[in-house]
Amino acid sequence: ILERLRTPITISGHQLVVTTSIGITIIPDDSVLPNILTKNADLAMYRAKERGRNNYQYFSEEMNTKAESRLKTENELREALRQTQFELYYQPKVRLRDNRIIGVEALIRWHHPERGLLSPDQFIGVAEDTGVIVGIGSWVIEAACAAARTLSASAGTPIQMGVNISPRQFRDPDLIRTIRRSIRESAIAPEQLELEITETMLMEDADTVLFTIERLRELGVRVAIDDFGTGYSSLNYLKRFPIDTVKIDRSFVMEIPTNNEDMAITTAVIAMAHRLNLEVVAEGIETTDQLKFLAEHDCEFGQGYLFSRPIPLAEIQKLLDPSVALIRPVRRKPAS
């Protein structure tokens, strides 16, 4: 079946390739009840999708256990939203020429009543798959805008706020309305808010994404491509979409200055972004050697544990004190 369905189909002169995911359940080993068999085959089909699509998977009891766990997490997430069990942590966005904080990235945490403090990788996948992410995302935008106002007052200057937007949230028809309301209620400047999307999102539905980005730009909100270099976007996408910032993924920064390939890629991305009038943020800076290399190659901004881990609002406010230097500024090489 998979082989037959892989055959390209021509429609109106366009050649299409269909990928198929198949779930299989066995009678009577798994069940003899039609509703149970349908559920089992459905679970197996979704496992096939998770494993890259275009394959088949047999049902196993482990899938049932996983599905029950996901349902439990979904219900807990809905309750967490009602009970406001979420909190935003903030990681500084630092200007590398003087190591001053000019912005922060908001990162959600969940105060789970039984499991303690959970990071996004422990629940965002379920939230995205079930649609709960839309409600959570709206809360994040509102809380982040309010925090931007608080931090700007502490710093005595506007502080930029970066917020990650999931694919499902980006397609939400109420997204623009939520952002407009949050900016108005927090009384921050629209350009203080920067929404971070991934390369993959640019390619999944380019026309819809472009439309949404253009609406955001009309509001004055900034847009960044997060984890740049880990997806499959082309330079054409960078030209086509009106974005403001490229964030170099930490995987290219972590082995600087020992990996020549990573250094070459990083310097090329910086140069390319500047040619397109985009700002550059390097993620995952953990050593002074990495900081020195990036500063010398004109990377404007950076984030990473060298400056600070993600921390609660009260702690990030302390770092905004002008008398607090995260680390000493790195001297750049004189221009040749």
Give me the residue spans of the domains in the chain: 2-59, 84-319
Q: What is the DSSP string of 8-23?
A: -EEETTEEE-----EE
pLDDT at 37: 87
Phi and psi of 113, rounded to 5°?
Answer: -65, -20
At 329, the pLDDT band (50, 70, 90 cuts) reads low
* Rounded average pLDDT over 119-125: 94
Among the ranges given (49-58, 101-110, 300-309), the one the predictor scored with the smallest mean pLDDT: 49-58
Over range 102-115, report the average pLDDT. Answer: 97
pLDDT of 169 strictly over 60: yes
What is the pLDDT, as a whole number, of residue 69? 80
* Beta bridge mates, 92: 104
- Is pLDDT above 50 for 300? yes
Whole-structure pTM value: 0.81
pLDDT tens per residue across span 26-47? 888 788 788 888 988 988 888 8
Contact call for residues 219 and 177 (beta carbons, < 8 A):
no
Residue 335 — very low, low, confident or very high, per pLDDT cuts 50/70/90?
A: very low
pLDDT tier for residue 336 given thresholds of 50, 70 and 90: very low
Residue of 159, 108, 130 whose CA lies nearest to 317: 159
Higher pLDDT, 178 or 209: 178
Cα dihedral 83/91/248/256 (nearest 10): -130
Mean predicted lDDT score pLDDT of the chain: 89
In the CATH scheme, what is the homologous superfamily, with its name and number, of domain 84-319?
Answer: EAL domain (3.20.20.450)
Short-list 69, 57, 84, 210, CA closest to 129: 69
Judged against a pLDDT cut of 80, whether residue 257 lies above it is answered with yes
pLDDT tens readout for residues 128-147: 988 999 999 999 999 999 99
User: Is it the case that residue 232 has pLDDT exceeding 70?
Assistant: no
pLDDT at 321: 83
Whether the pLDDT of residue 233 is over 60: the answer is no
What does the pLDDT read at residue 64?
73
**Cis amide linkage into residue 257, ω under 30° from 0:** yes
pLDDT tens digits, one per residue of 50-75: 787 788 888 887 777 777 787 899 99
